[in-house]
Amino acid sequence: EAQVTQNPRYLITVTGKKLTVTCSQNMNHEYMSWYRQDPGLGLRQIYYSMNVEVTDKGDVPEGYKVSRKEKRNFPLILESPSPNQTSLYFCASSLSPGGGLNEKLFFGSGTQLSVL
Protein backbone atom coordinates (compact mmCIF):
# COMPACT_ATOMS: atom_id res chain seq x y z
CA GLU A 1 0.00 0.00 0.00
CA ALA A 2 1.30 3.43 -0.98
CA GLN A 3 1.80 5.46 2.17
CA VAL A 4 3.77 7.92 4.19
CA THR A 5 4.64 6.54 7.60
CA GLN A 6 5.41 8.75 10.55
CA ASN A 7 6.56 7.66 13.96
CA PRO A 8 5.71 8.10 16.70
CA ARG A 9 2.08 9.20 16.64
CA TYR A 10 2.35 10.74 20.07
CA LEU A 11 5.41 11.99 21.91
CA ILE A 12 5.81 13.73 25.23
CA THR A 13 9.23 15.04 26.09
CA VAL A 14 10.97 17.64 28.22
CA THR A 15 12.68 20.84 27.25
CA GLY A 16 16.14 20.33 25.82
CA LYS A 17 15.98 16.59 25.21
CA LYS A 18 16.87 15.87 21.61
CA LEU A 19 14.30 13.96 19.62
CA THR A 20 13.72 12.68 16.11
CA VAL A 21 10.42 12.15 14.32
CA THR A 22 10.79 9.68 11.49
CA CYS A 23 9.10 9.83 8.11
CA SER A 24 9.28 7.21 5.41
CA GLN A 25 7.51 6.85 2.07
CA ASN A 26 7.31 3.79 -0.16
CA MET A 27 6.33 5.50 -3.40
CA ASN A 28 9.78 6.53 -4.68
CA HIS A 29 8.77 10.16 -4.30
CA GLU A 30 11.38 12.84 -4.89
CA TYR A 31 9.69 15.59 -2.90
CA MET A 32 9.21 15.41 0.86
CA SER A 33 8.31 18.06 3.38
CA TRP A 34 7.40 18.73 6.99
CA TYR A 35 4.53 20.85 8.28
CA ARG A 36 3.44 21.85 11.73
CA GLN A 37 -0.20 22.48 12.58
CA ASP A 38 -1.22 24.90 15.32
CA PRO A 39 -4.72 26.09 16.30
CA GLY A 40 -5.69 29.23 14.44
CA LEU A 41 -2.62 29.06 12.21
CA GLY A 42 -3.34 26.11 9.95
CA LEU A 43 -0.38 24.15 8.63
CA ARG A 44 2.96 25.81 8.02
CA GLN A 45 5.89 24.35 6.19
CA ILE A 46 9.05 23.73 8.22
CA TYR A 47 11.48 22.19 5.72
CA TYR A 48 11.30 20.50 2.38
CA SER A 49 13.51 18.34 0.20
CA MET A 50 13.53 18.20 -3.57
CA ASN A 51 15.66 15.05 -3.68
CA VAL A 52 18.39 13.17 -1.87
CA GLU A 53 20.86 15.52 -0.17
CA VAL A 54 18.80 18.56 -1.24
CA THR A 55 16.92 20.31 1.56
CA ASP A 56 15.69 23.84 2.10
CA LYS A 57 13.89 25.96 4.67
CA GLY A 58 10.20 26.52 4.66
CA ASP A 59 8.31 29.20 6.54
CA VAL A 60 9.14 28.20 10.13
CA PRO A 61 12.51 26.38 10.19
CA GLU A 62 13.89 27.76 13.47
CA GLY A 63 14.69 25.05 15.98
CA TYR A 64 14.46 22.18 13.49
CA LYS A 65 16.85 20.16 11.38
CA VAL A 66 16.24 17.64 8.63
CA SER A 67 18.30 15.27 6.55
CA ARG A 68 17.70 13.37 3.32
CA LYS A 69 20.34 10.70 3.05
CA GLU A 70 18.00 8.26 1.35
CA LYS A 71 15.13 8.93 -0.98
CA ARG A 72 12.54 7.22 1.20
CA ASN A 73 13.40 8.81 4.56
CA PHE A 74 13.12 12.39 5.77
CA PRO A 75 13.52 12.64 9.55
CA LEU A 76 12.72 15.78 11.51
CA ILE A 77 15.19 16.53 14.29
CA LEU A 78 14.63 18.79 17.27
CA GLU A 79 18.06 19.28 18.82
CA SER A 80 16.80 21.16 21.88
CA PRO A 81 13.01 21.15 21.98
CA SER A 82 11.17 24.01 23.64
CA PRO A 83 7.52 24.30 24.73
CA ASN A 84 6.71 26.49 21.71
CA GLN A 85 7.43 23.48 19.52
CA THR A 86 4.46 21.67 21.01
CA SER A 87 2.42 21.01 17.90
CA LEU A 88 0.97 18.47 15.49
CA TYR A 89 3.52 17.56 12.84
CA PHE A 90 2.88 16.18 9.38
CA CYS A 91 5.23 14.71 6.85
CA ALA A 92 4.17 14.83 3.21
CA SER A 93 5.54 13.61 -0.09
CA SER A 94 4.84 13.86 -3.79
CA LEU A 95 6.24 12.25 -6.89
CA SER A 96 8.17 15.21 -8.20
CA PRO A 97 9.10 18.63 -6.86
CA GLY A 98 7.69 20.34 -9.91
CA GLY A 99 4.13 20.43 -8.70
CA GLY A 100 2.65 19.27 -11.98
CA LEU A 101 -0.98 19.34 -12.95
CA ASN A 102 -1.91 16.05 -11.38
CA GLU A 103 0.62 16.14 -8.61
CA LYS A 104 -0.85 14.81 -5.40
CA LEU A 105 0.59 15.42 -1.97
CA PHE A 106 0.48 12.38 0.31
CA PHE A 107 0.35 13.07 4.03
CA GLY A 108 1.47 10.96 6.95
CA SER A 109 -0.89 10.39 9.86
CA GLY A 110 0.67 13.06 12.04
CA THR A 111 2.78 13.20 15.21
CA GLN A 112 1.40 15.03 18.23
CA LEU A 113 4.38 16.41 20.13
CA SER A 114 4.20 17.89 23.62
CA VAL A 115 7.27 19.58 25.07
CA LEU A 116 7.03 20.14 28.82
Residues that bind other proteins (CB under 8 A): 31, 33, 35, 40-45, 48, 50, 58, 88, 90, 92, 94, 96-99, 101, 103-105, 107, 109-110, 112
| Residue 55 vs residues 12, 15, 35, 41, 86: alpha-carbon distances, Å | 27, 26, 14, 24, 23
Q: How far is the CB of 30 from other proteins (least distance, A)?
A: 9
Provide, rounded to whole angstroms, the least separation between the CB of residue 70 and other proteins: 19
* Residue (50 or 77) nearer to other proteins, CB: 50
Q: Which is nearer to other proteins, 14 or 41 (CB)?
A: 41
How many CB atoms lie under 10 A from the CB of residue 94? 19
Alpha-carbon distance of 38 to 41, in angstroms, equals: 5
Residue with Cβ nearer other proteins (45 or 114): 45
Q: Provide the minimum distance between the beta carbon of 78 and other proteins in the complex, in angstroms, as a whole number.
A: 20
**Distances from the Cα of 86 to the Cαs of 1, 6, 21, 68, 113, in angstroms?**
31, 17, 13, 24, 5
